[in-house]
Copies of this chain bind each other. A is one copy, B any other.
Amino acid sequence: MRYATRMDCLEDKSLLSVMEIQETDDMILFTGGFPSPETYPLEEITDAFIKTLEREGKAALSYCSTSGHKPLREVIRHRMKRIFDLDYNLDEVIITSGSQQGLDMSAMLFINKGDVVLFETPSYLGAVSALRAHEAQLVAIPTDRQGLELNALKQALDQYGDKVKMIYVNPDFQNPTGRSWSEQRRIEFMEMISQYDVAVLEDAAYSELAYDNKPQKPLSYYDKKGQVVYIGTFSKTFCPGLRVAWLCARGEMMQKYLVLKNAADLSSSAIAQMQMAYYLTHYDLDAHIAKISRLYKHRRDVMAKAIKENFPEEIQFVLPAGGLFIWLELPVDYDTRKLLPIAMENKVAFVPGTAFYPNASRSNEMRLNFSNMKDEDLVKGIRILANVTKRFMKER
């Protein structure tokens, strides 16, 4: 069989294999990128489902409109206004099947084979897959503790010129480092890119999971020219199983997204959308998020303490102020891809840092998820991982 050339760009199956592990294995998994299942409001979701079928009847089991269930889009719109001071009209908000679909559609909307995407690095490997699947050339833009490095960004914008179609960023408690951009950096970034004809894909998956301060204003808030595509999701704040996420874009751009959504899967599940709308209007998602934030903050602290107590001093990390991950840095000459199989023999798994670099330029880091586990497993897993890491570092 003769396949499309895009398949040559998709060799890295790291995320795929991580997903496949989860269903089958019994080890301590620091690999996840999701909220803790024990927090899922099972009773409320069941109630929302039953009420939805009672109220909406058969409509809930039919096709939905391509743009998505209107009342859900309304609630999301008002919620974004209230929490982030974002102003979107109803027809500037559509529902997607997980935010991954928003990434995929964005790649489709902007990318011809070989076009350049400037990619916040390290960053979400699902975005790497989505962009590579459309044969984007990913150019890594490094970050410092304030956010994307603007000098590097400007250099790349000027170097690649018209080939640059999109900038992918994940400004809040980003995956994998847990870091957030400063307000100043956001403002400067938006000022800089407003000089260029380029779209910004703002992945806001973790934005509401703020443990130490209030959520910050999204890039979209500072967007005067309609360059920002904002992608939000309930997968991290509620549960990923319903696959309900949303995408916001301005004017004619949204019309084009609709055409692509239709080509991709006609529409997202009607019942899942109606259920979510019911939950949002009859229950209190804010209270739910406050509750899980307390829990995750506690787990973050437990993991951080265990790391400090068990890992050698030269292994570094920055305590994240939100999100689901701690990003652990080994000395530069160690490759965590080689550590992973040894850790897995000892029943602990993590995601090697390389997966988050589009060009695998660094390999001494690992991503550890802390949201998904009881204290004793967190501590046990970190102890095992620390021991394995120490041996690994000695033996090399």
Contact = CB atoms under 8 A, between A and B. Distances in A.
Interface of A: 1-7, 10, 13, 15-16, 19-20, 22-23, 34, 37-38, 40, 42, 45-46, 49-50, 53, 57-67, 70, 97-98, 100-101, 104, 108-113, 115, 126, 129-130, 132-134, 162, 165, 197, 199, 227, 235, 239-243, 253, 256, 258-260, 262-272
Nearest to A66: B19
Q: Which residue among A19, A115, A197, A265 has the maximum number of chain B CB atoms within 10 Å of its CB?
A: A265
A130 B262 CA distance: 9
A290 to B, nearest CB: 20
A259 B60 CA distance: 31
Contacts of A49: 46, 49-50
B19 A266 contact: yes
Copies in the complex: 2
A136 B271 CA distance: 33
Given A100-B265, A133-B263, A264-B104, A61 B46 contact: no
A49 B61 CA distance: 13
Given A37-B62, A129-B263, A197 B45 contact: no
Contacts of A34: 62-63
B7 A259 contact: yes
Contact of A263 (B2, B104, B165, B260): B104
Contacts of A112: 4-6
